[in-house]
Structure 1
Amino acid sequence: MMGWRHIICVLCVCVSVCFCESSLSGKVHSPLYPKAYPSDLFVQWKLEVPKGYRIQLTFIHFDVEPSNNCCNDSVMVLYGQKILGKYCGQDNSANGQDPGKEPILSPGNHLQLVFQTDGSNAGSQQHLGFSAFYQAVDVDECSSPNPEGGSGPLCSQICLNTIGSYFCDCNHGYQLQPDQRTCLSAIDCDEPKLLPNGGFRFLSDSQNHSVIQYHCNEPYYAFPGAQNISYTCAADGKRTVNDHNDIIIPPCLPVCGNPSGIPGSRQRVLGGKNAPAGTFPWQVLLSVTGRGGAIVIGEQWIMTAANNLVSGSGVTPKESVRLYVGHNDVKERINNPPLEIASIHIHPQYQGNNNFDNDIALIKLARPLTFNSEVQPLCLPPEGAKYERSGWVSGFGYTEEMSISNELRYIVLPLVDQTECRNSFERLKQQKIEVMPFTDNMFCAGLTEGGADTCSGDTGSAFVLKDRESDRYWVAGIVSWGIQCGEKGRYGVYTRVSRYVEWINKIMRDN
């Protein structure tokens, strides 16, 4: 019999509840009270008060058959699925299982009572049950912890509690906004200036000033010094930036050489695997009479090989040059309009024909690019740049099957010693193979055994190295020329960009 009673005790919590009309106070008592309550009962009450209040429940009289863990007869108080108390016994009984005279306070505006009895309330030891009183108690929202979800305090400045609710107010010199919780300065300060490639949001500091915090669209843009800028409209109407009387907001500068990731394994442009999305966001698809490559180095600047833009008839008109950025798939990329070109700048000492010394050119765009995960600039060579180990090259050139690639591919190629590079061209000359001049403005990269190389259609793309100190990628070379593709003992030749940093900066500064 005790086992059966224990099962009934557990199951009672799951029974449905009857809803009662909301009121500010009321009484509740066991059936037949003040007479003895019947046996085999299961009665529930759902107490509710208006929102903005809590329920305070007090037992006036309590007399319920005592038992171990109150599993014969009991009164249970619940808030939702949470049990606030389970009681039996008599007022001030020694077993300590009665509710006593201390009020029970609900967390919210509702409460549930469950009264259950077994079949043993008979004979001379009959129990009378209970009588209780409940009333609505105001919730002081202003003293409550901040709401969940990170929305901040109920009021940005002043919170005033009222019966069943609250309202917000502002300090002198501030106005309550339409959201009825935020305060902004009522002083006639200028509207916040828009920040290109960034934005702002309203804050409120500990001194109750109206504060606007500027930020850049990271990780593609950053302030010099990588700090957010706070702009305060003080009560006297004067503006300050980071506690200084300096209202100049720094620009959001592009972050260079910081792609989402660069593959580390050896793959081949000449028949290699596709480059993962976001790995070479500086890659430009260039189209003149054929396909070539170029490099994003600034918001309005593209770098490429001069031989992409110069032919026997001179410099290609800008209207005949097409530049595409974005997706790694050529078909997706050319679905977007080509970038509008403002001007083309060929290095003044580039000769062309059979001499690709100074093979470098800059293209200025008519409008700035907006950088994102698919379009980002590559850094220029750092001061004292060291050419060592291996670098990355990407492109849309020919594959090993000599078919043009419609997916961006990449390769990791070792740098070749300058002496070995010169010797390789001398060996070709001895075989009566025509070779263009190799100068100190160039370097070689590739495998002695061949099989991995850049090829036609990759010209103008970047040879990329990584700076160990800044952890950023920089343009070490530009794919320039070579003798066939991927042949044993023959290397690709690249323009050494570190020798042209001064010229690059001058062109960008003067234009």
Structure 2
Amino acid sequence: MKDGKGTYRCGADGAWEDILTLSRDLPVCVPDCALKRDTASSRIIGGRNAQLGQFPWQAHITTEDSRGAGVLLHDKWIITTARLLQEVDLSQVVIKLGTTSLREENYIQGEPGEVFIHKDYGNGTIDNDNDIGLIKLKNKIPIGENVQGICLPTKEAHFHISHRESDHHVGIVAGFGQTEMSRISSRLLFVEVDVVEQQTCREAYQKRYDRVVSENMICAGHAEGGRDTCTGDAGTALAFLDAKTNKWFIGGIASWGSNCGDKHYPGVYTRVSNYLDWIENIIKNN
């Protein structure tokens, strides 16, 4: 139940009613999200095989001319990058959930009904700024042990993400993208990445590629390199564990980068906390 309040009974006419108020307006039922499961420690690029149910929010998305990832929210919405959804033909979009192998036929398929791209994506002077989009599915996804939405953060301080040890500074990413062998993986892989100090990341990309890392972005990788998302991973979650609830929340969405696994140029992720109002408004009004 969304607000966690109320006690209900079956009324004389067979309808549910609130014991205190006699109201028949039932509360909204929101599926639970991303409870922590044992995750083997690993320090994609540099990844190891995921087990079924370890990343129950993971979605693999293919379009007419591209492939990437998405992240299940609740049971009818998927969050991903705007880039993957631009000018997409929904009849050509295939969404697979509840699997760790693209060679298996045992998966749950999500049927896209409508897509929403942030209105400021591609309209500014900064490449890949506001790289966020939502897919509304035609039907609800059956939630279970192996398929479950990830939690969204709130604006509370304890969800803050930075390179500082006092904040969420180590995240985990999973995907079917390109590996260090330069091949697309048929198995779901995962790896831990460290959040990189914003100014360090900004200066590296500005100096070498003349690209801007905005405040709408998070950089994550590893000081020695070799841990990263890569081609085919765009749209996957940079997930963090909330110690208060023992649940995973999505802090970032894999967006762009350079030279997968290069220690000087970490992966760049859309900072989800900057778009909470946008996400809420889209879902509420659609």
State whether TM-score is above 0.5: yes
Which residue identity is paired with 2:51? P
Q: 1:325 & 1:358 partners in 2: Cα distance?
A: 25
Which has more strand, going by share of residues? 1
SS at match of 1:443: strand
Task: Output the CA distance in 2 between the equivalents of 1:265 and 1:336.
Answer: 26
Calculate the aligned-residue CA RMSD, in Å: 2.4
Structure 2, unmatched stretches of 5+, are: 162-167
Report which structure shows greater RCO (CA 8 Å, sep ≥6).
2
User: 2:266 aligned with 1:491, yes or no?
Assistant: yes
Corresponding residue of 2:226: 451
Letter aligned with residue 424 of structure 1: A
> How far 1:232 moved relative to its partner?
4.5
Is residue 75–residue 140 contact of structure 2 (8 Å, CA) maintained in 1? yes
Picking from 400, 403, 406, the partner of 2:180 is 400
* Offset, 1:256: 1.3
Higher Cα Rg, which structure: 1
| Residue identity matched to 1:473 | W
* Equivalent in the alignment of 1:351: 122
Matched, 1:375 2:167: no
Q: What CA distance in whole angstroms lies between the structure 2 residues aligned with 1:427 and 1:451?
A: 22
Give, as a single letter, the amino acid of the residue that structure 1 aligns with 2:54: T
Given that 1:421 and 1:444 are in contact with CA atoms closer than 8 Å, whether structure 2 keeps it comes out as: yes
- CA–CA separation in structure 2 for the residues paired with 1:283 and 1:467: 18
Shift of 1:493: 0.3
Does residue 465 of the first structure (1) align with residue 240 of the second (2)? yes
Residue identity in the other structure for 1:254: P
2:81 paired residue among 270, 281, 305 = 305
Q: After TM superposition, list the pairs within 5 Å mapping 1:260-279 onto structure 2.
A: 261-263=37-39, 265-267=41-43, 269-279=44-54
Structure 2 contact 71–235 (Cα < 8 Å) conserved: yes
Change beyond 3 A, Cα 1:440–1:240: closer
Aligned amino acid, residue 258 of structure 1 = L
Q: Residue 409 of structure 1 is aligned with which of 158, 172, 189? A: 189
Kindly state the Cα deviation for residue 426 of structure 1 after the two structures are TM-superposed: 3.4
TM-score (norm 2): 0.87
**Which SS does the other structure have where 1:331 is aligned?**
coil
Map residues 245-324 of structure 1 onto 2, 5 A cutoff.
245-259=22-36, 261-263=37-39, 265-267=41-43, 269-288=44-63, 289-310=65-86, 315-324=87-96
TM superposition score normalised by structure 1: 0.50
Runs of 4+ in 1 over 6 A off after TM superposition: 237-240
How far off its partner does 1:510 sit?
A: 1.2
CA–CA separation in structure 1 for the residues paired with 2:250 and 2:221:
17
Distance 1:252 1:337 in 2: 22
- Structure 2 distance, partners of 1:226, 1:279, is 31
3-state SS of the aligned residue for 1:439? coil
Q: For the residues of structure 2 that align with 1:375 and 1:328, how far apart are their CA atoms?
A: 11
Residue pairs, 1:8-407, within 5 angstroms: 224-225=3-4, 231-232=9-10, 241=17, 243-244=19-20, 245-259=22-36, 261-263=37-39, 265-267=41-43, 269-288=44-63, 289-310=65-86, 315-332=87-104, 336=107, 338-351=109-122, 355-384=127-156, 385-387=159-161, 388-407=168-187
Q: Indicate the percent of aligned positions where both proteins have the same amino acid.
A: 34
Give yes or no for the alignment of 1:420 onto 2:200: yes
8 A Cα contact 1:448 1:490, kept in partner: no
Q: In structure 1, how many angstroms separate the alpha carbons of the residues matched to 2:210 and 2:38?
A: 34
Equivalent position SS for 2:281: helix
